[in-house]
Structure 1
């Protein structure tokens, strides 16, 4: 696994300064507000992909759906779809530039690949369901709501970190090498 101090002769480049990246993320959020009049989030883009998939299988059912139907016949024509795709493309581009692109499953020695992927899938399903139930995801709540100093978003952030620390107790054994 690469680290910041890897050999500069062909090895991965050092990680970016987190303070600089935080400032840049803040500027992206500011630009989103200034240009689009809306903040950032990820679950809206994923939902639109699900609507497009549903539209390709059963268009009349999708259009009559209370959830997907409001987005019309072209659910992918939405700024969060492009942001979601850009997140993956940008991440891949960054990994390629830093010589960090490789297919692997991050896990501790005590955890099998199957167990690690199972935990990741279960966690993704829970978070995805919860973000749609709450009508927003962690990035939307933390970035957009936090930037606007919304009290609900600030309470959400405290609860998110507290529940993360509490849940870590159940899976920490798989990371102790």
Structure 2
């Protein structure tokens, strides 16, 4: 959570070490209560499947991909991942409201336009979503939860995520700084 000091004009964020400890405790609690780690890409999959089924139930039933999520009258939105992501969204809004940072604005470098910032964010999100399907999970599920279980794949995933980000940061940094 951030707190704005109106005298200095600076925003103070939560101590990152404390935030890391809290995230670790949330992850531990997730394993304890659900038997699974954290993740978010499954919630997006539930939204996509529900949307396709709502638009064309026949198409969803005939599809090998969509049909397995709606078989036997299952509701893809009745997933703990959906509720987890809803909790993250509600928590983000509460944190923003309590710290006085809840406002509709687009933060971007003075070197780029607001439109370009939004386009790059959408492109990045789409590529991230596409990659999470190839990797069979997002960074939370594959790396964070994988590392928590001491999975070699979790550590490799985390190294690949940060290594790739470091390699590409030079080429794309002008879109943010």
| TM-score relative to the length of structure 1 | 0.89
Q: CA deviation at 1:8?
A: 6.2
Unpaired segments ≥5 residues, structure 2: none
CA contact (8 A) 1:12 1:100 kept: no
Residue 79 of structure 2 corresponds to: 78
Query: Is 1:16–2:14 an aligned residue pair?
Result: yes
Give how far 1:63 is off. 2.7
Paired residues in the alignment total 173
Aligned CA RMSD, in angstroms, stands at 2.0
Q: Which residue of 2 aligns with 1:110?
A: 111
Q: Which residue of 2 aligns with 1:52?
A: 50
Match of 2:155 in 1: 154
Please show how residues 1-177 of structure 1 align to structure 2 within 5 Å.
Answer: 6-7=5-6, 14-72=12-70, 73-176=74-177
Cα-to-partner distance string for 1:30-59 (whole Å, 9 max, x where unaligned):
111111111110000011011111111111
Instruction: Give the Cα–Cα distance (whole angstroms) in 2 for the partners of residues 66 and 106 of structure 1.
Output: 41
TM-score, length basis structure 2: 0.89
Give the ranges of 4+ consecutive aligned residues of structure 1 lying more than 6 Å apart after TM superposition. none
Shift in alpha-carbon separation, 1:131–1:8, aligned structure 2, 3 A: same
Structure 1 gaps of 5+ residues are none
Whole-angstrom distance in 2 between the partners of 1:12 and 1:67: 49
CA distance in 2, matches of 1:118, 1:98: 28
Looking at structure 2, the residues matched to 48 and 12 of structure 1 have their Cα atoms a distance apart, in angstroms, of 39
1:13 touches 1:98 (CA, 8 Å); kept in 2? no
